[in-house]
C-alpha cells in the first residue's frame, strides 16, 4: 500500500510541515536522510541539467509510543512535493500508527491553505 499527498511547495517546506504537525500530535520524528545534506546541495540534477540541484528527498522516521516507526518521505522537484507513507512488509509498522500518521499528513496538507502551498491531491493506492 502506498499513501500520500501532493503539495505545491518545496521539499523542505513540506518536510518541516510534517515534522511540526506530527510533533504537535505527540509523535517523535527523526530525519534519517536528507538529499541536500548528503550531497551538500551539489549534484548533477537529471531534471534540470544544473550543477546545483533544487530537488529534495527527505526520509522521516515517525515513532509512536511503541513498536517500529512509520516511514514518511518528502520528495520534491520544482516547488512540487509528494509526501508519502512507505510501507515495508518485511518490517511492518503498527497499522494504527500508520493511520494516525496518514490523518496527520492530510491535516498538515490542509495547513497549506494559503499561497503558495496548499494540497493539490490525495492518493491512496493498493
pLDDT in tens, 5-26: 888 888 788 888 888 888 988 9
pLDDT for res 3: 57
pLDDT above 70 covers what percent of the chain? 71
Residue ranges covered by each domain of the chain: 2-125
Supply the Cα-derived Rg of the chain in whole angstroms.
14
What pTM was computed for the model? 0.77
2-125 CATH, one of 3.40.50, 3.30.450, 1.10.3210, 3.30.310: 3.30.310
pLDDT score of 124 = 41
Q: So what's the pLDDT on residue 112?
A: 53
Predicted pLDDT at 100? 85
Higher pLDDT, 83 or 46: 83
Q: How far apart are CA 82 and CA 27, in angstroms?
A: 21
CB-based contacts of 14: which residues, under 8 Å, 6+ apart?
7, 74, 76, 81, 83, 117
Tell me how many degrees the CA angle 30-99-81 measures, rounded to the nearest 5.
60
Cα separation, 118 vs 46, in Å, equals 26
Amino acid at each position: 500500500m502506498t499513501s500520500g499527498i501532493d503539495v505545491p511547495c518545496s521539499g523542505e517546506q513540506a518536510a518541516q510541515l510534517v515534522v511540526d504537525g506530527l510533533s504537535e500530535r505527540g509523535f517523535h520524528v527523526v530525519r534519517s536522510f536528507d538529499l541536500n545534506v548528503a550531497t551538500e546541495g551539489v549534484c548533477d540534477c537529471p531534471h534540470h541539467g544544473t550543477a546545483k540541484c533544487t530537488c529534495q528527498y527527505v526520509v522521516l522516521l515517525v515513532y509512536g509510543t511503541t513498536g517500529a516507526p512509520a516511514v514518511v518521505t518528502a520528495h520534491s522537484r520544482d516547488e512540487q512535493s509528494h509526501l508519502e507513507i512507505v510501507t515495508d512488509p518485511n518490517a511492518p509498522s503498527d497499522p494504527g500508527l500508520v493511520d494516525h500518521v496518514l490523518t496527520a499528513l492530510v491535516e498538515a496538507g490542509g495547513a497549506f491553505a494559503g499561497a503558495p502551498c496548499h494540497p493539490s491531491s490525495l492518493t491512496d493506492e493498493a
